[in-house]
Structure 1
Amino acid sequence: MSQRVSNPLLPVLSALDGNESPRLLERELERASDDQHLSEAECDVVRRIDSSLRRGKRRESLLRVLLETTTDLVAITDFDAMLHAIVRRTRMILGSDMAYISLNNYDTRETFIHTTDGVATEAYRNIRMELGTGVLGKIAAGTGSAQAIDYIADPDIIHVPEIDDTVVAEGVRSIMGAPLLRDGVLLGALLVAERYQRRYTAEEIWLVESMSALACVALSNARFIGDMQAALEERDRLQATLETEKSRLASEQEFERALVECAVSADPYGQFLEQVVEYQSGELWLVDDLGKWIRGTRELPAPESALEKALARSHRSGDFAPVGTVGVGVGVGVGVGVGVGVGVGVGGGAGLSILAVGAAARLLGGIVVEGNVDQDRERVLRRAAVMLSVLRLIDESSREEAARAQSGFVHAFLVPPENFEESMLLRAGRFGLSEGHPVFVHVVDSDSRAALIVDVLCSLPAWSAGAVAEYGGRTVVMGSENVGEAIVQQLARKQVSATVGIGIEGRLGGSLARAHRTAEQTLHAMLALGIREESSTSAELGAVGMLMSSATPDQVRTLIDLEIEPLMNYDSERGSQLVETLWAFFASDRHQVRAAEYLHVHPNTLRQRLERISALLGEDWHTTRRSSMIYVALQLHRLQTKAPNSRYMSDPVL
């Protein structure tokens, strides 16, 4: 016996309450209608109630999904990660083939795809289109949602051929999207797309709009949090920078204190070099204003000429200058005077750099470094350069004091013997001179003022001993060695032309007036003979040369021309060697064989040359009176010629 149904509508109500499938509800409604328990109108009411319940449950489900999405998005603070999460969640909720976000660029008046999920082609990911074109452009240009069931065939869309080709290549048929609005500003759009035709329901559109609104809020939070984190990081960075700067300033103050102490050190340049190298590391050299080495961590791998040029460039620019040429190291010469000079530079030849050191417009010296000069190293070097300029000025003051002492010493020793004070001998050791030892007195003639020559020589680092001063309108240098050639060369580097006569006193024991007089006579003889920019002693000029000490250059020229001008003209016109032949003949004591051997010619050749000489000078050139005058003229001409590689400058070995 079947169970009796107490209420014929109970199955219908059960289908509604259980939210069963619509087919089950329709079967129950058909059965109730057939049994005449419900009219057709009542069945329609039941169907509307079912539809309303189903919409409510779907809305409840969507709201739950939105709540979960909101919770998830709030935890994300990275901007790009936030956008990826939004498009991924939107695509998943709607079950779409793809989802993406477009952003507006109002500067270029275009919208572009920024973040995608499910897009297959690179071209689609990189779509950029003018605002107002396409579905994406239409949404981004407005403030409401929009969809295209069949994008390519939709006549309401403003199509761009290139974009349509990209859409076809991706296989997209339907597109729907909602705008991203923040504070009334349209940021872009959130879109979904399908590779088949799909009409999106109002609920689905509402869902995308809700996700778009959540995205705007989440983006605002993410940017706010990102800005806050950036501000905190900037604060931490600034705090760390301040601590680093504080530590650096303390270190630099200690460095400057150590540099100041160098001024009172027994070895100021040595201690200065040590402090700078310890603080900034790397190779370092100190040079003078001529590029000469003063101190360094090792031999300076560049020639003085390259350093001097780079130093001048650095001084003009006030910045680092490359040392363009690399060569051998430079050493220190020997000479007289006191004082030390420094040169500076930073440059690029072989990794060398040079920075000029000066005071006002004056070049005082500098620092040479090796390797790259970065900002920190440059700051250290410039601080060191300031102290180096102080050391150079102290040096200069010391040189001026030394110059006064040297001037007094020189004047005291050049007085007549009867006026010489024996107590001055006690001061000789200060200038490298020793009682009872030889003394060289150099008298310098130049086209520059004597005071300028004194300043130049006193500033040179080459002098190891001696004294230099102005005396009688010329510069006098007294020392324990012959430094005549060094004086000429050093002054030439300063573009100063100089000629030096040298007198020698066998032993220091009193006045040096006689040696000074000899030096003056030697100098006068050199000038009369036309010898310029050289140095010589009376012995090197010989007796004939010294006889010219009271002559003028014109008188010497007249004597030479009077005796041997025909030979000189003949040699000049024909490239012969009659003057040299006659000198060898006289110097060989008129012995033809020895003269021929000296000249490396056959005796017959020598006889032929002597016959030519007789034809030019006359047969009486053999006589004692005439030959003596010719020999003097030859000696004077020989002194004037000064050809180092010529046999004419050396005497035959008899």
Structure 2
Amino acid sequence: MDSAERSGMGEMIDILELLAAEAPSADIADLLRRVRARGAGPGTLAQWERAERLAHRVHTLFSRRQQREAELSALLDTARDLTLPYDLDTLLETITRRTRTLLGLDMSYISFRDAEAGGSFVRTADGHASALTVGFRVPGAYGLGDEATARSVPIWTPDYLSDERLRHTDVLDEVVRAEGLRAIIAAPFKFGDDEFGVLYAADRNIRHFTIGEVSLMSSLGDLAAVAIEKARALERSRADVATLRAGTSTMKSQLVRARELAGLHTGLVDRALAGRSLKELVAELAVALRGAVQVKDAEHRTLGAAGAVPAVDAAEALEASRTASARRLPVVLSTGTWVMPILAGNEELGVLLHHPYAPECEAEEQLLRLAAQSVAVLLRLQSGEAAAASPFRDELFDDLLSSHRPARQILQQAGRLNVDLERPHVVVVIRPEGGEQGRVAGWAAAYTRRMDGLRSIQKGCVALLLPAVDASASAAAVSAELGPLLGHPVTVGAAGPVSGPDLIQRTHQEARRCLDALISLGSAGAHASPEDLGFLGVLLSDNRDAAHFIAVTIGPVLDYDAQRTTELTRTLDAYFTAGGSPTHAAEALHVHPNTVSRRLERITELLGADWLKPEQALEVQVALRLHRTHELLRRKRDLGPDQAERPEPFPWPGEDSADMA
């Protein structure tokens, strides 16, 4: 080996030493320049140039490996950093800051998908100027994010605004332009099958992302997705724990309060059972409820009060009472007063009114219920004591309706109960609707005590025996008082008056027939007696007093004819026979049509303007026919069977004189 070869071998070793020492590429280039300056041959120089190229390649591989090691180290540091127990907002800020630092870019931001509103919104950003702020809504189906989510891989562009491969929208392009962004890369957040957001990194210069940078962005997206899901799960767990703690605390408070209420309820009921007066019980309730208390019965009469309850509109109070009774829950009035029904089973005994002393205090529903129950116990005891004084009053009415005992025994039983059956009485029958028989029965008990009457429940109806002389007026009074209490009209039938025990059962049946007639006629919710039903009352009545019906319906016309010897009754019959035609009626009567018109005017004065309405006109025709039959029977009775001849079609009194009408 000559000196030149030894020199070349030494320089080769120098190159290897430079590579081993990871010297910069410039040192290798200086060595090559020295070789050229020494004047090496073409073959040697070519070998040296090849050696230089190989040395540069090795140097580049070292540089890439070092860069990859640095990236992996940074990624590892980032992964370690993301495992710390951040709250979600702090974690997102850490992710964006790390992403921008690792890739050496100007900006990074995160968007979350909005499933309800569509599209997504920016949750956090780092390095932004002003346009791409937190909360900015990213339109769906546009930009890199939608493409990255659809493909589940990172998507990038060196210059976003000039890249025609992407779907652009003016809103998003304007924000990118305002931020001055050019190169953008987006990696999807995916956890399992849920793709819930996108990680973005952007530069304000045109930039082509390397494969390593794209791979790093993909790894960052995967790590961030796991960390975000962990943070979200942790937040949900914390919220669940907080809810459980709050629920536990609430349950403890409710348990303590339930024990307090149970003790209070027991004390109130014990006081009621111990014979305390209603006044004393109401005073104790006012202390327990911390407000004024007032107790009213089923007829809304005040039974006891402690403190001043503000006056309220009667209609509002009545509506609130109905609502509270239907719901069996307290209802508050516009004045702040609470209304709670006092119930004993299905029977409503009254209402309890409570007005808190402090406006900010709200009534406690359970406490109001317990207070109303204690009052119900006391009222039940008092009503039981009242019933004990005359325990067989209602049984007496049941006996009157079903028993066949001698009247003497019934009168003796009534005398022992201070019931005078020789006085005129009417029977009123009520049909409750909507399953409210209990409420009606409770009201009827109080009503009969007040009216000194009797009560009975017969076949789903509530019957009342009331001392009165006018069945229609009694039915109207019951309907007027009971209807508003129930919140809807009730059907009421009545009959009488009668005196003595023998006719009460028949009068009850007559009242039931009146009620059934109202239902059959589609008049549910109305009230009537046989007198109110006109000719139907004659059919329904057991005594069938046709003369009374005739007198009530056309009596004024009959009296007028009898006093003035006119023919109004005959004209009235001819008018109906002619189908309501005055002209045809005049032909049948052989008078001038004007005469018929004047007679009809006089009939209107006597019977009233409504006599031609269909319902009253029907009753007038029935009364005319009954009167005609009555006259025929009277003539036959007066003449005798041998002298009675066939009468004229209608034996009207008086002469055929139109002027006398």
The TM tier, using the shorter chain, reads: 0.5 to 0.7
CA-CA distance at 1:456 after TM superposition: 1.3
Q: 1:264 aligns with which of 270, 273, 288?
A: 273
**SS of structure 2 residue aligned to 1:390:** helix
1:64-463 mapped onto 2 (5 Å cutoff): 64-104=73-113, 110-122=119-131, 125=134, 126-131=136-141, 133-302=142-311, 309=318, 312-314=321-323, 317-318=326-327, 347-371=332-356, 377-402=364-389, 455-456=449-450
| Distance (Å, rounded) in 2 between the aligned partners of 1:362 and 1:253 | 24
CA-CA distance at 1:474 after TM superposition: 8.9
Aligned to 1:640: none
CA-CA distance at 1:194 after TM superposition: 1.4
| Distance (Å, rounded) in 1 between the aligned partners of 2:59 and 2:180 | 38
**Structure 1 residues 388, 318: closer, same or farther in 2, change over 3 A?**
farther
| Distance (Å, rounded) in 2 between the aligned partners of 1:40 and 1:92 | 39
Amino acid at match of 2:103: L
**Structure 1 residues 100, 457: closer, same or farther in 2, change over 3 A?**
same
Aligned to 1:409: none
1:554-593 mapped onto 2 (5 Å cutoff): none
CA-CA distance at 1:51 after TM superposition: 0.9
CA-CA distance at 1:304 after TM superposition: 9.5
**Structure 1 residues 15, 101: closer, same or farther in 2, change over 3 A?**
farther
Q: Does 1:27 align with 2:34?
A: no
**Structure 1 residues 18, 297: closer, same or farther in 2, change over 3 A?**
farther
**Structure 1 residues 181, 32: closer, same or farther in 2, change over 3 A?**
farther
| Distance (Å, rounded) in 2 between the aligned partners of 1:167 and 1:304 | 66
Deviates more, 1:304-313 or 1:272-281: 304-313
**SS of structure 2 residue aligned to 1:158:** coil
Deviates more, 1:291-300 or 1:196-205: 291-300
| Distance (Å, rounded) in 2 between the aligned partners of 1:221 and 1:211 | 15
| Distance (Å, rounded) in 2 between the aligned partners of 1:363 and 1:374 | 28
| Distance (Å, rounded) in 2 between the aligned partners of 1:129 and 1:308 | 56
**SS of structure 2 residue aligned to 1:396:** helix
| Distance (Å, rounded) in 2 between the aligned partners of 1:184 and 1:451 | 71
CA-CA distance at 1:213 after TM superposition: 1.5
**SS of structure 2 residue aligned to 1:147:** strand
Check the 8 A contact 2:109/2:122 in 1, yes or no: yes
Deviates more, 1:122-131 or 1:362-371: 122-131
Identity of aligned residues (%): 23
Check the 8 A contact 1:289/1:311 in 2, yes or no: no
| Distance (Å, rounded) in 1 between the aligned partners of 2:257 and 2:152 | 57
**Structure 1 residues 405, 8: closer, same or farther in 2, change over 3 A?**
same
Check the 8 A contact 1:315/1:363 in 2, yes or no: no
CA-CA distance at 1:316 after TM superposition: 5.0
Aligned to 1:58: 67
Once the two structures are superposed, residues 229-253 of structure 1 have per-residue CA deviations (whole angstroms, 9 ceiling, x without a partner) of: 3443344344334323332332222
Check the 8 A contact 2:295/2:303 in 1, yes or no: yes
**SS of structure 2 residue aligned to 1:141:** helix
| Distance (Å, rounded) in 2 between the aligned partners of 1:312 and 1:107 | 44
| Distance (Å, rounded) in 1 between the aligned partners of 2:228 and 2:244 | 24
Amino acid at match of 2:97: R
Aligned to 2:57: 48
| Distance (Å, rounded) in 1 between the aligned partners of 2:76 and 2:246 | 38
Q: Specify every segment of 5 or more residues in structure 1 that has no aligned partner in the other structure, as ranges.
A: 322-345, 407-443, 460-471, 476-490, 496-654
CA-CA distance at 1:62 after TM superposition: 1.3
CA-CA distance at 1:212 after TM superposition: 0.9
CA RMSD of aligned residues (A): 4.2
Check the 8 A contact 2:144/2:156 in 1, yes or no: yes
| Distance (Å, rounded) in 2 between the aligned partners of 1:187 and 1:454 | 74
**Structure 1 residues 308, 128: closer, same or farther in 2, change over 3 A?**
closer
| Distance (Å, rounded) in 1 between the aligned partners of 2:273 and 2:202 | 84
| Distance (Å, rounded) in 1 between the aligned partners of 2:390 and 2:353 | 29
| Distance (Å, rounded) in 2 between the aligned partners of 1:31 and 1:56 | 30
Name the count of aligned residue pairs: 402
Once the two structures are superposed, residues 188-219 of structure 1 have per-residue CA deviations (whole angstroms, 9 ceiling, x without a partner) of: 33211112211222222222111111112212
Check the 8 A contact 1:258/1:275 in 2, yes or no: no
Once the two structures are superposed, residues 414-449 of structure 1 have per-residue CA deviations (whole angstroms, 9 ceiling, x without a partner) of: xxxxxxxxxxxxxxxxxxxxxxxxxxxxxx999999
Amino acid at match of 2:50: A
Instruction: Provide the TM-score with structure 1 as the length reference.
Output: 0.53
Amino acid at match of 2:450: V
1:495-506 mapped onto 2 (5 Å cutoff): none
| Distance (Å, rounded) in 2 between the aligned partners of 1:62 and 1:161 | 36
Amino acid at match of 2:292: E
**SS of structure 2 residue aligned to 1:300:** coil
**Structure 1 residues 13, 286: closer, same or farther in 2, change over 3 A?**
farther
**Structure 1 residues 111, 494: closer, same or farther in 2, change over 3 A?**
closer
Once the two structures are superposed, residues 31-76 of structure 1 have per-residue CA deviations (whole angstroms, 9 ceiling, x without a partner) of: 4565569701111111111111111111111111111111111113
CA-CA distance at 1:83 after TM superposition: 2.2
Check the 8 A contact 1:102/1:115 in 2, yes or no: yes
Check the 8 A contact 1:172/1:193 in 2, yes or no: yes
CA-CA distance at 1:10 after TM superposition: 7.1
